[in-house]
Structure 1
Amino acid sequence: MTSYRQPGLVLTDRRFAVPLDHADPGGEQIEVYGREVVAGDRSADDLPWLVYLEGGPGFGARRFIGRQAWLGRAVQDHRVLLLDQRGTGHSTPVNRQTLPLRGTPRRQADHLAHFRADSIVKDCELIRKRLTRGAPWTVLGQSFGGFCATHYLSTAAEGLRTALVTGGLPSLHATADEVYRAAYPRVRRKVEAHYARYPQDVDRARTIAAHLLEHPATLPNGGLLTVQAFQSLGILLGGGEGTHELHYLLEEAFVPTPGGPALSDAFLENVQGRLSYAGHPLYAVLHEAIYAQGHGPTAWAAERVRAEFPEFDAEKTLAGDAPLLFTGETVHPWHFETDPALRPLRETAHLLAERTDWAPLYDPARLAANEVPVAAAVYHDDMYVDTAHSLETARTVRGLRTWVTDEFEHDGVRAGGPRVLDRLLALARDRI
């Protein structure tokens, strides 16, 4: 283990060997990384543990500098483990460079089937027993991390002292089709709100889309910026500052050239930074699989369901005078054509989309008998996670207390500093 300091904190790198397949504990092992964080003046204290599960899937735990966001509140009374879920961050990597070691796309798809919430929670339980001498710990799950926390409550609640969820109470039953059928209207509302704030962006977005329809652009990394890829910048609108980021991005789109207006290098560089999956390929490859629970294949649900909402069709929009609609948190087959980080995984992704043997992730009966204190922040009209689905789940989990707020977007646990975590801890401890 390596320990080091940031202002007011002591950090320790921890690495854990876990089975790739928990059904075969003696088989292949992979490594999961966690960063232990404790207040400098409490580093020798016997503090309860809190494990943080980042959103995603496919993102390592946030890299904090000092006591940013919720972390300063957490270390007041916890020893924190910022866990890089399997395949992410400093854990054994999974990407276009490493997956060919597995062999054929079929074998790659079989390998990736071990990277959902069920395996992540089993990793957590092995790690907990090694760190806490068997004592239960608190889980803080953001977004997909909340999905993992809900699975934790369904399968290994004995390992939990408290469960805290921010923007991540999943539907217990909805298929991927139903998730996206609920999502597209929310996305439209977010786009309409953006245009109400920045009406000048209506013409800008239409102009950029019309240009890309005739002249798809090549990004600096070799990726292809098509109209559909441009529309996917709407994913920004799910964060508290996203509408402003999108506005500033659009206003620098064009520069004059001898050949006429062209998309600027700065615009293309910034778009690439927001659209590339190079740093988190599992997000694209496994995104629909997080909703799969034995209802058959996901079969590119976001792409199929989009056809039910023709107002998102850019060509039809540009043929009339309606504002262009951006899209949100959806992954499509064309992502595996336009993004160089995903192109080598195209066949693997298709095989995962066809997979039918996904196990159920949640146990409504066990959740209804829950005895673990649970508190959840539910963000009103969250673009990424359907509020109605979250509240339905909240009613199922015995004893769960909700804080429904429109003060924040999906990233409230980051944007709200210590306040969100402080409120959830108070709810879980029955102090409010």
Structure 2
Amino acid sequence: MKVQRGAYNSAAMLVASLGRAASQWLLLWLFAWNGGADSAGVYALALGIAAPIFIVLELGLRNVYITSHEARSFSTYFRIRIAASCLAIGVTAGIAWVLYSENMGVVLLVALVKSLDSILDIAFASLQVRGRIYSIALAMLLNSFVTIVAAAAFYFLFSSLEAALLGSLLASLVTAAICVVPVLRFESKDPRATGLTRSVRPILRDGVPLGLSTGMTTLLSYIPLYFIAFVGNEEAAGIFAVMIYFITFANLFYNSVQKAVLHTIVHAYMNRGLDGMLKRLRRVSAPLILFGITAALFVGFFGSKLLALIYGPSFTVDASVLWPIAISILVLPFIYTTGMLLLTYNVYWMQTIINGFSVVVVVGLGFTLLNGFSLGTAAILTLSGIACRAVVGIAASIVYSVRSDTHNRKGTLSKIGPS
């Protein structure tokens, strides 16, 4: 019954995540279809500036709240997220003013949308620990629907791509108001919250490494785009932005499964030890790998035709450019599986080390291949970063699983590594 409920939760999160991705993709499509690859490149670079900053400063608080072995006050998490969102807007605006002032309006709108989505994300953490997966899915679908309607309406009313972003901002504001206020009311009245620690330091201790880790994961996906922009090819940046959406949609599937089942894996570890957790993890990883194989074959053989059909002839690419993207999708399940394992062990710094090492590898490879940098080179960089994370993550998971087994034999099931 628990496995069946987990499958339903995963399906609900997948549908909601796909709906959210569709609404975000609509914005990219509006830029690409109406302004060509150059306009798509502007939007992609705006995301490239804002996204890593927000991800780092979000500190992975949703996962920390869900997986922490210590009971802490939700209100503290919420206040940290509010402060971090404000700081992220300021940092993003400063970087845009220095490096991308000609399109600063687009960057600021993207930053404001991300700030509201970030606040909504931490509210979802409260719902998730109470098993309210369907409530999260409904909220995400509401956000998606309102975003699509508002963005399209604002675009056709004002014939402005910035107006479409403004519609997205209003949609996020509406969804946040509907979802966040009830969560805060519940948490303030929850008798279990009385006496819980409100100290910020232990949350930052766990959140900083996780924020750096997830931020570097996001950074890895944008490094090829930075190199394309560096060589001055904004049109290629736009084409790469739509190419990378194959990985984005795959990540949404993997991430939706992870978010839906992560708390069950933690529960299995705390109650049945290493063997129970690994058994649960094997059940989760099988559909991830099956999806990866199917999606990789589809992108490799049909991706080029699909891009031209959706975005127009100017977005046609050679199939050989897409095969590194396809192989990346196939490798991703190993990253998510090892990631769930390390999150369960609360070894947040290991994720940071893995992703930091991968960033160094990809940046070094990028500069090595800088002469004649092309879309194909960018795709190879993307695959290199994902493969590096997978290999090092598997090695780390083996090490910490052995350590966990040793602790289990000693009768302890607490943190097994530095956090």
**TM-score scaled to structure 1, two decimals?**
0.25
Structure in which a larger fraction of residues adopt strand: 1
**TM-score scaled to structure 2, two decimals?**
0.25
Higher relative contact order structure (alpha carbons within 8 Å, sequence separation ≥ 6): 2
Structure in which a larger fraction of residues adopt helix: 2
